[in-house]
Each structure stands twice: as structure tokens, then as C-alpha cells.
Structure 1
């Protein structure tokens, strides 16, 4: 049934809405449209994140097929294992990560000597920041001093890593070399033993000397107690400044893994060239996925100086972001992972420290003045060291200097991993398809319908698993850890609980 206007009683004619009602109606419509636009924007953002995740998964599958595996890196299907917290590191690619205990000086030189040069070109995966050719001569870099800070207990790898025997002393990749030995092998061609130094605590001096027999005793600097990276690197800088006022130092952690020797050498050599121009220089790692476990470096303008084609100013340093922020960083193509590698003149570092943390700079230089006299050194360390501020080098020097345009970054594309937890460790170990990785004697692990994960049979007893995926099982003689790869970053919370419960002998 329908009605026309003519057939309706005059008193029943519809009334036109008042102007205020019309305005209210339009406001409601505009509000709903705004909400719809916001929902569409959110959906687009989520779709962009899904595309990134799909691209990462496709790349991992492709890389797995290329290397003869069924997995993203070493065997676990990508849909079963969380995204790895570190970049694609393939130890097989690097001659520094071999099963032999290779004498570092036996590694083949990159050039035949004389005035021959080899150029290395590694395209960046970040599109608009492609790297250009950088020329390097022989491996050794004159005037360059290596500093290896060897500290921390590696609490995310507990109970495998302990305070008395931390992760840098362990062979975590079944290559026959501990992490600090691999770091030594990688860096010794650049500086020779006479210019390679280690900073460590009293409990680790003897084990380090045992593992690095060619380390000159005068080149191991003992810090009385942990004061974070600024004090450790600053101590080495102060001592080296006194020994050689023109020293250029490079700080590289003892417990990181690197593959791609050509790209690594090129990045360090370029960083040294930039450091000669009085910059504090860091090396930025090309991110392979939006990691929430690493800090980030925002790339600034290019230096546009002769001899350093890839170097840029650091716009800013960013703390570890959440997943959405990390994805946004990656999408811009302007961010690199902060691996904590710094190259600079010793004098420049201490002068920056004098400007931002004068008490620390003065204290470290006082210690360095008496370093070569045993009695005076012990007295200075006893009087000065406890009063030094405990602060990372990023917060003490790098961040304030970057805001003044005094920090540069050399983008690099070599594989890098800080082996920060059992999930990243699992990615470095070989495994059969759909099987867990095993760090230790594989005969002590029996599984049925088990995929992914990592098992450490450290106690010597048999470990059997049935129908569980992506577990972390660390069986040591005095304690057992069971968790999942997805929560392996949280192991340090258990370490704190263990300490609070009175089990300090297990730490």
C-alpha cells in the first residue's frame, strides 16, 4: 500500500525538520564518516604489516630452499616458530666461522699486497640507501686498536650461561670456538695481537687468557666491578690514549656473531676513515625484520666527503620499540639496527665524555696515568672506580653527541646476531627438518612428533619429548629450564626469582 501527498489529511502532512535537527543529523553523519575513515586507515596499516610479515616469511622460505633446508634458517617451519629476533645469519658463508681452530694470520689476505686494492659492493636491502663501492687495502689497518668489552652474565641464556662462565666463553654454535674466540679470529687481522685489547672483570681474566693464549697480558684491562659499557670502553680509551695519542679505537662486543667478512671489513675500514675526521662513528646493521629486541639508528644526511661514500650523520638513536613502531621504522627505509659498535679516536671519545660526563672522564684519565705501575693502579682503581657512574655509552656520549651532529654511521649489510636468547641461538644451530635443534650430544635426545625448539642435554642424561613444539629445554647437572621459544626473552625474570629464592649458587 502506498500514499500520495494529495491523499493524506492535511493534519497528517509530514513536518519539515527544524534547522537545528538538520545540523545535528549532518554532524552525526560527519562523525560516522570520520570513524569510518579511521577504521579504514587502521585496516590499511594492518594490511601493510601483514604484507611485511608475508614478505619476510616468503624470504625465509626462499632462503631455506636455497640452503637446502625446509625452514627459514635451519629447519623449523616458519609457521611453527616465532619470527627470529635477529637478522639472517648464515655462518657457512663466513670463513671466520669454521670448524677448525684456524690461526687468524693464516686467513687469505684480501689483496696481494703493495698497492693492489679490492673493491666490495654490497647492495643494501633498504632501497634508497644502497651502498656504494668502498676500497680497502690489506686487512691490517694502521693505527687502529681493537677493544673487546667482555662483560655481562647473559641472563637470557641461563642456566647455560652463568656469572662465572658467561656466554662469551661458550661454544654456542658447535664450531669449536667460543664466542670470544670467534670475535678474536674476526678482528685480529685488522689490528694484530699487539693492538687488540680486552676489558673484563676479575672473575673472567683467567678463562679469557686460557682461551686467547696470544692475547698480550698488558692488553687485558681488568675492571674491578661492572659499570656498564661507558666505563669499560672509556677505561680502554684512556689507557690507549696514554700509549698512543693518535690511537683510533673500535669497540666490538665479545658475544656477538658476524658473517660476511668482506662487508664487515669494508664497514670497519670506512668507519676508521670517518673517525679520522673527529666523528664518533657507529656501524648500522641492515634490519631483516621489524625486531623489538634491538635499538635503532635513524639515518641522517650523507656526509658527502671524499673517501667515505656510505657514511651518514646519525639523526637520532631510538630505544627498543614495540612491534608496530618497529614496522613503521622499517617501512621508511631510514633506520638501522644499533649493534653497539663504535669507532673513534680515543682522544675524541674522552673529550666528548669530558663535555657530557666530566667526572667520569677525569677519573678514567687519572687511572690511565698510573696504569703501568701495579701498586698505583690498584690504589687508583680502589679510590676512583666505585664512584664512576654506571651508564651505557649510548646514553653517556652517543645520544647527546648525535643531537649536535657529531656522530656518524656507516650502513652495513653483513649478517649479525647478538645471540641474545635461546630463540636466536636455535636459529644458529643445524637441525633435521621438523626437529628441534640440539646443543650438545644428539644421542641424548629422543623425540617423537616434535617440531622446532632447542634442547641442551647438559646433564648427560637422556631427554625424551613427545608431541611438543617449539620448547626450550636446558638440562644442566644442577637445574632444569623448560620454556617456549616465544617467551625465551623472559628467562631473565626467572634468574631474578632464582636469586630472590636464595639459589645464588645456581647463578
Structure 2
């Protein structure tokens, strides 16, 4: 059967001050249509019943996620004791899914993307699952057609075409996964027409990914197996804390994808946005006549090409502003040059260094 694993452990520091340790990006409503993680779960539609959805996050977020998903049993939300990247997260999820369904097929996806239309996503997942069902060791991923020479995404180099059904989206073998490129290399990837952005969405059999982790990351696999053996026993929490902390963190791309032989990329037939920073809101919301993206109670006088966001009815007034980001929360306000947005991460680091933990 098909199962969904939603990875929801990110910090979302580029969305400070709205994104905090107790309410990171995936728990925010950035589009006016519910929180990011709620939209991710809703996107699954009728692909599977709620009892086949597993959310993996960090321990600090288990309770707030449970509040957003009262229909899910507590066992459907797993809180990691520490951050160890995506490979251990996925490996643990595969083991937990396999306990009740050894033949499970998993669709694994981040919790903080915007994808539309939902029907196209669901059709693509069904198609990907059929490709996995047809080949025991196959791994399927989705590639996003690049819109520009991005330096912030990993890339997938496509190989031979596997498309035989004209009604199905273009499908290729994967020649290679590429790290985030810089400058000229990013432009080379973009102009070649042979590369996709890596969406971070995967489909595979639980057994396939576990066999791959056991082969390529035996030490990691051993720690995960110890956790799985103790799951549901009085020793679960103690073993989980100790064994997970002992894992050397690694992404699933490095741990498995760069080594596995049968990897297929489907050209995504849906619109995708990773919502990586505040400027993403410009793509997701209609700007006003002055080019401003406003999600707040706002009065703008001679204000242009700016992003204004507030969580409550606090009035924000801007005068003579151009290309700025203004974000107001109950205890912090950010005013930033839109073109220096990447430095928000440095702001968070300075808050940490200054011991201003209440604002993190």
C-alpha cells in the first residue's frame, strides 16, 4: 500500500521573526490557505487514508503539530531527539512504516513547499508509485524545470528517456545528482536543458531504501535498527535518545541517491515553490499596483516593491520606502533591505550569540 512520510523538522531561519524555534516555517500560514504542513497533508487527497500518514519532526514540535492534526493518532507524529538530517529521518520512517506493512511504498516529501494543482500532484504520485511497483529496487524522484540559473537548489542531470506512455509526464533515468552550483556552473546547467531542480520528493519501497541504507550506511542503519527494536517497549524513549544522537547526520542525497543504480526522475507536471525566503511571497500572492506584497493591515505612502507582513491587526505604515521587507510579530519587528534578505540568517546567529533566546 501507499504511505506518506512528511518531513517537518526544519528551522526556517530565513523567515525570522515570524519563524521561531517553537513555530518554524512549516507551522506558519504564508499563503492565507492554512499552514504549510496542513497544506502538505491536504495535498495528498485520497491517495491514502490518514492512518497511512507519518509526520517526522523534532521533539519540540510534536505538540504544536498534534494541535494542527487532531485527527491523527499520537503515533503518527514522531519527534526526533536531535537534528541528524534527512537520511536518518527517512530510514526511521521506513522502519516504522514496515512494521505493519512490509511491502509499503512510500512517498516522502518536505512539509514546506507550495504545489499546485493538487490533482496534478496526486496523478504524478500515482504514476511514480506505478513505476516503483514495476521494479523492485527503483527509486523515483521529481525534477522541477528550472526557471533561472538558481544557486540555492541541488540539480538532477537527466539521462535516457523512459517515457513510453504519451499521456505520462516525461520520465528519464538519472545520470547524476549535482550539488548547489555557483555562478557560471549554474548558468551552464540552466542553459543545457538537461538538468532539473531537485524537488526533494521521493517515491520508493520501504524495503528498497532500508536495503540501500544498510549497504551504504551500515553504521547509521545499525543505530536505526536498535531504535526500531525498542519501539513500543518501555525502553523506547531511552534507546531513541541514545541511538539517534549517536548517528552521524547525512542527507539522503549523499547517503543513498548518489550511489543507487536504478533512480528515475519524473518531470514534475505541477507548479512547485520551495518558499525559501520572504521574497517567495511575491510569487505566491498578487502584488498591488505599486508592486507591494501585503499580508497585513497596511497603509503605504510612496511605497514600492516591498513585502509587508503582520500576524495581527497591528497597523503598519510605510512612507517613502522601496524594496524593503517589514515583518511584525508580537515581540519583534524586522525592517530589511529586500536585496540583503539572505543575511537574515546572520541576524538569527547574532541573536543566539547575544543570548536573546526569547526572540528565537
Query: Does structure 1 residue 340 correspond to structure 2 residue 200?
Result: yes
Task: Tell me if the contact between 1:267 and 1:411 (Cα under 8 Å) persists in the aligned partners.
Answer: no
TM-score (norm 2): 0.94
1:467 corresponds to: 320
The one of 60, 69, 94 equivalent to 1:212 is 69
Deviations, residues 157-210 of structure 1 (Å, cap 9, x unaligned) = 0111001111111111112x1111111110142111011110111211111111
Count of residues in correspondence between the two structures: 357
Distance 1:325 1:337 in 2: 14
Give the Å deviation of 1:379: 2.7
Give the Å deviation of 1:483: 1.4
2:119 corresponds to: 262
1:434 corresponds to: 290
Distance 1:370 1:461 in 2: 49
Task: Tell me if the contact between 2:44 and 2:122 (Cα under 8 Å) persists in the aligned partners.
Answer: no
1:288 corresponds to: 147
TM-score (norm 1): 0.67
Give the Å deviation of 1:280: 1.7
Deviations, residues 27-69 of structure 1 (Å, cap 9, x unaligned) = xxxxxxxxxxxxxxxxxxxxxxxxxxxxxxxxxxxxxxxxxxx
The one of 231, 239, 255 equivalent to 1:380 is 239
1:396 corresponds to: 255
The one of 176, 182, 185 equivalent to 2:42 is 185
1:489 corresponds to: 342
Give the Å deviation of 1:324: 3.0
2:180 corresponds to: 320
1:450 corresponds to: 303
Distance 1:365 1:311 in 2: 34
Question: Please, which runs of 5 or more residues in structure 1 have no aligned partner?
Answer: 1-142
1:505 corresponds to: 358
Distance 1:265 1:460 in 2: 37
Q: SS of the residue aligned with 1:189?
A: coil
2:9 corresponds to: 151
Distance 1:309 1:285 in 2: 12
Give the Å deviation of 1:304: 6.1
Distance 1:218 1:479 in 2: 35
2:224 corresponds to: 364
Query: Does structure 1 residue 419 correspond to structure 2 residue 278?
Result: no
Question: Please, which runs of 5 or more residues in structure 2 have no aligned partner?
Answer: none
Distance 2:278 2:45 in 1: 28
Distance 1:262 1:184 in 2: 14
Give the Å deviation of 1:378: 1.4
The one of 298, 301, 305 equivalent to 2:157 is 298
Which structure has the larger Rg over C-alpha atoms?
1
2:170 corresponds to: 310
Deviations, residues 318-363 of structure 1 (Å, cap 9, x unaligned) = 1222243222212211111101111111111011111111011122
Task: Tell me if the contact between 1:423 and 1:486 (Cα under 8 Å) persists in the aligned partners.
Answer: no
Task: Tell me if the contact between 1:147 and 1:196 (Cα under 8 Å) persists in the aligned partners.
Answer: yes
**Shift in alpha-carbon separation, 1:304–1:432, aligned structure 2, 3 A:** closer
Task: Tell me if the contact between 2:169 and 2:267 (Cα under 8 Å) persists in the aligned partners.
Answer: no
* CA RMSD of superposed structures (Å): 1.9
Task: Tell me if the contact between 1:453 and 1:484 (Cα under 8 Å) persists in the aligned partners.
Answer: no
Hey, which of these two has a bigger chunk of helix by percent? Answer: 1
Distance 1:419 1:309 in 2: 24
Give the Å deviation of 1:492: 0.8
Deviations, residues 113-134 of structure 1 (Å, cap 9, x unaligned) = xxxxxxxxxxxxxxxxxxxxxx
1:246 corresponds to: 103
Deviations, residues 250-293 of structure 1 (Å, cap 9, x unaligned) = 11111111012233123212211222212121111122222222
Hey, which of these two has a bigger chunk of strand by percent? Answer: 2
Give the Å deviation of 1:456: 1.8
Task: Tell me if the contact between 1:270 and 1:410 (Cα under 8 Å) persists in the aligned partners.
Answer: no
1:114 corresponds to: none
Give the Å deviation of 1:381: 0.7
